[in-house]
């Protein structure tokens, strides 16, 4: 009897503990599968039903704490197709002209803005005015001025603004952050970030300055900008940068093909990064400290991420990035959880300020000092 009673007591205690379990601890160690019972579900409207939204939508089918309850698109056929596929009723389908009406829809908590960069600013502000939380793909805006206006609009409306930094939840990435925070790598000396691929269709929006705001830096170079910050664990104080362009027909004025940039940090650590639309096989982070190193390659692709350190191979499990991201963002929005690496609008704004400085350094040939 005693053993049975002890078993039942332990079982009850485990059940009570379940809602308080996190998908991973502060250093990315535990089981990365969310418990089934972990609080309310975040009801999300997807805005911009393109290729990346398709990836997000598919990944969300495995989420425990987030589900698709709304759709926003300028293409009626997509609204109908996606509505049927993801069981979103017509009353929760909107176009770009009338989506402000989400303010009257109790089935939507947040809107994930997955549209071309130039549209983020106005769309996020409209989402905030409708009283809904905003999740915005990166880069958050075209420049720091726009980003600040978005942060202010969401603060004034009393809603959260998160940015789609999926790598901030990736297990191997978090293990490197943990090692650095724990001092296992010693004093950090150097970071290298390489992000590049050969871009295809010359008529796509990513090569249109009016929609993209730039070129490779805005699309993939932002991974190196952001990665340098969370890998080194400091905010840079200066930037130098150089632009190279070999195809002026494809990469028109204001659309960068290749940018090399360097960052300096208060501790004396430096970063050397490359962003390009003209070279394949560039997806690597390398962090060097006095006691050790960490390398991720691939470092920011959809996975699985692979990595090693001076202690050996990283073996944390792969979970679809967008599934993990959306479940964790549900916890941030609904439970005020604090991620190891921030994903809020202030984080997005810091990257925009650095990218503004990178473009200024390319234009002037001069080192740019960064201030908070």
Catalytic residues: 138, 223
Q: Does residue 161 contact residue 344 with C-beta atoms inside 8 Å?
A: yes
- How many Cβ atoms from other residues are within 10 Å of residue 77's Cβ? 9
Cβ burial of 205 (10 Å; 0-12, 13-18, 19+) is middle
How many CB atoms within 10 Å of residue 292?
A: 15
79: exposed, middle or buried (C-beta count within 10 Å: 0-12, 13-18, 19+)?
A: buried
Contact by Cβ (8 Å): 277, 251? yes
Query: How does DSSP classify residue 344?
Result: B
User: At how many degrees (to 10) do helices 345-364 and 222-232 cross?
Assistant: 120
According to DSSP, the β-strands at 110-113 and 133-136 are parallel
Pairing of the two strands 161-163 and 133-136: parallel
DSSP for 6-62 reads: HHHHHHHHHHHHGGG--SS-TTS-S--SPPS--SPPEEEEEE--SHHHHHHHHHHTT
Query: For residue 233, with 0-12 CB atoms within 10 Å meaning exposed, 13-18 middle and 19 or more buried, which class applies?
Result: middle
Q: What angle do CA 241, 242, 244 make, to 5 degrees?
A: 150
């Amino acid at each position: 009897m005693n053993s049975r009673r002890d078993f039942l007591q332990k079982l009850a205690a485990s059940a009570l503990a379940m809602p308080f379990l996190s998908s991973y601890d502060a250093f990315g160690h535990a089981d990365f599968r969310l418990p089934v019972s972990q609080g309310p579900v975040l009801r999300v409207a997807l805005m911009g039903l393109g290729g990346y939204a398709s990836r997000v939508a598919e990944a969300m089918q495995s989420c425990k704490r987030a589900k698709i309850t709304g759709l926003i698109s300028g293409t009626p056929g997509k609204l109908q197709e996606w509505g049927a596929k993801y069981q979103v009723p017509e009353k929760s389908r909107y176009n770009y002209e009338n989506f402000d009406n989400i303010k009257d829809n109790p089935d939507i908590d947040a809107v994930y803005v997955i549209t071309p960069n130039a549209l983020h600013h106005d769309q996020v502000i409209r989402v905030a005015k409708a009283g809904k939380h905003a999740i915005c793909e990166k880069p958050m805006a075209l420049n720091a001025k726009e980003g600040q206006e978005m942060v202010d609009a969401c603060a004034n409306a009393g809603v959260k603004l998160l940015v789609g930094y999926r790598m901030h939840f990736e297990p191997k990435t978090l293990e490197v952050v943990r090692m650095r925070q724990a001092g296992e790598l010693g004093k950090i000396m150097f970071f290298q970030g390489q992000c590049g691929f050969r871009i295809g269709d010359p008529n796509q929006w990513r090569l249109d300055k009016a929609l993209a705001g730039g070129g490779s830096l805005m699309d993939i170079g932002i991974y190196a900008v952001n990665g340098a910050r969370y890998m080194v664990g400091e905010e840079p104080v200066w930037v130098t940068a150089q632009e190279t362009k070999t195809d002026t027909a494809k990469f028109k004025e204001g659309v960068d093909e290749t940018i090399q940039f360097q960052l300096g940090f208060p501790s004396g650590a430096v970063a050397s990064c490359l962003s390009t639309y003209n070279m394949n096989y560039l997806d690597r982070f390398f962090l060097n400290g006095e006691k050790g190193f960490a390398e991720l390659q691939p470092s920011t692709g959809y996975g699985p991420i692979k990595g090693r350190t001076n202690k050996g191979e990283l073996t944390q499990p792969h979970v679809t990035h967008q599934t993990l991201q959306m479940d964790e963002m549900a916890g941030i929005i609904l439970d005020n959880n604090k991620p190891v690496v921030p994903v809020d609008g202030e984080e997005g704004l810091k990257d925009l300020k650095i990218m503004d400085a990178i473009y200024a350094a390319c234009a002037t040939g001069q080192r740019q000092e960064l201030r908070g």
